[in-house]
Amino acid sequence: MIDFIKSEKFILPIVYLVIGIILYNIVRFIINKIMKNKYVDKRKKTIISLIKNILKYIIYTFVILSILSVYGVDTTGIIASLGIAGLVIGLALQDIIADFVAGIFILFDDRYTIGDTIEINGFKGEVIGFGLMSTKIKNSSGDVLILANSSFKEIKNFSRHNNNLVITLDVSYNTDIDKLEMVLESLREDVKNMNNVCGDYKLLGINEFSSSSIKYLVTIECKANCQYQIKRDYLKLVKNTFDKNKIEIPYNKLDINVRGKDE
């Protein structure tokens, strides 16, 4: 027993295990430090996490093969047989491998990250989950679509650039346009102070003479996916301001004439 404890077959496996643990802890420490950096974005964190897992399995494989070699096992044959088995499995799991590879390309191309609003195959929603095999998208109705990463090629990402919100304002034909523009211009500071407004507020002018109103266009530059709430807030502001300045917003009116029995 004492001879076995003193032998390489007992000592070397322990040494390899210790080396593996030390290597893994060093890698984990470095990666955790990087992940805690507030300047590292979500995409880079996902890639770093993937690298961490790959390195972990490389270290495990190194330790196992090193220990087996101590006991005289032909590790070269094992590596060769793993290669053949990997080829057979690869042929059987082509779709899974295709999804995996597509997921890696999505990561490195920075096509989208969790929280982005995207459209794939006509389905538009927020990315709520992303893995190397599939992507989960949730639309405004709460429906969740799960797509294999290799099942699509074209992606529309609505979260990478600011939106240019175009709003049509209907005013009556008896409106003084100069007064209208003066009133709309007076809203500039209020508009710029709205949450998620990040650019210019422009008065584009009259866009159309419709059958019952003059259509006037304005634009507001805002952050991606914030245009809906900004439009609601702006229209509320316009309504209150128009009421104060006696600017009429046209609407359909119905005249009802009631006749007596003698008529």
> How far are the Cα atoms of 35, 40, 49, 129, 250 from residue 46, in angstroms, in the given order?
9, 10, 5, 12, 53
- Contacts of 53-60 spanning 24+ positions with Cβ under 8 A: 55/24, 55/27, 56/24, 56/27, 59/20, 59/23, 59/24, 59/27, 60/20
**pLDDT band at 216; cut points 50, 70, 90:** very high
Mean pLDDT to the nearest integer, 218-242: 91
- pTM of this structure: 0.52
Q: What is the pLDDT of residues 136-188, one digit of tens each?
A: 999 888 899 998 888 888 888 888 778 889 999 999 999 999 999 999 999 99
N- to C-terminal Cα distance for the chain? 124
Distance CA 164, CA 218 (A): 10
Which CATH code for domain 113-157?
2.30.30.60
Lowest mean pLDDT among 29-33, 34-38, 105-109: 34-38
Q: Mind giving me the DSSP string for the chain? A: -HHHHHSHHHHHHHHHHHHHHHHHHHHHHHHHHHHH-TTS-HHHHHHHHHHHHHHHHHHHHHHHHHHHHHTT--HHHHHHHHHHHHHHHHHHTHHHHHHHHHHHHHHHHT---TT-EEEETTEEEEEEEE-SSEEEEE-TTS-EEEEETTS----EESSSS-EEEEEEEEE-TT--HHHHHHHHHTTHHHHHTSTTEEEEEEEEEEEEE-SS-EEEEEEEEE-TT-HHHHHHHHHHHHHHHHHHTT--------------TT-
Percent with pLDDT over 70 in the chain: 77
Structure tokens at 97: 């491998």
165 neighbors 178 (Cβ within 8 angstroms): no
Q: Would you list the domain boundaries of the chain?
A: 2-92, 113-157, 163-244
Q: What is the pLDDT of residues 35-56, one digit of tens each?
A: 666 555 665 666 666 677 677 7
Distance CA 178, CA 183 (A): 9
Q: What is the CATH class of 2-92?
A: mainly alpha
Lowest mean pLDDT among 194-198, 216-220, 232-236: 194-198
Answer yes or no: is pLDDT of 244 > 60.
yes
Structure tokens at 204: 């584009």
Per-residue confidence (pLDDT) for residue 26, from 0 to 100:
85
Per-residue confidence (pLDDT) for residue 232, from 0 to 100:
94
Which CATH code for domain 163-244?
3.30.70.100
**pLDDT band at 6; cut points 50, 70, 90:** low
Per-residue confidence (pLDDT) for residue 128, from 0 to 100:
86
Q: Backbone dihedral region of 209: left (phi > 0), alpha (psi from -120 to 50 degrees) or beta?
A: beta
Per-residue confidence (pLDDT) for residue 35, from 0 to 100:
64
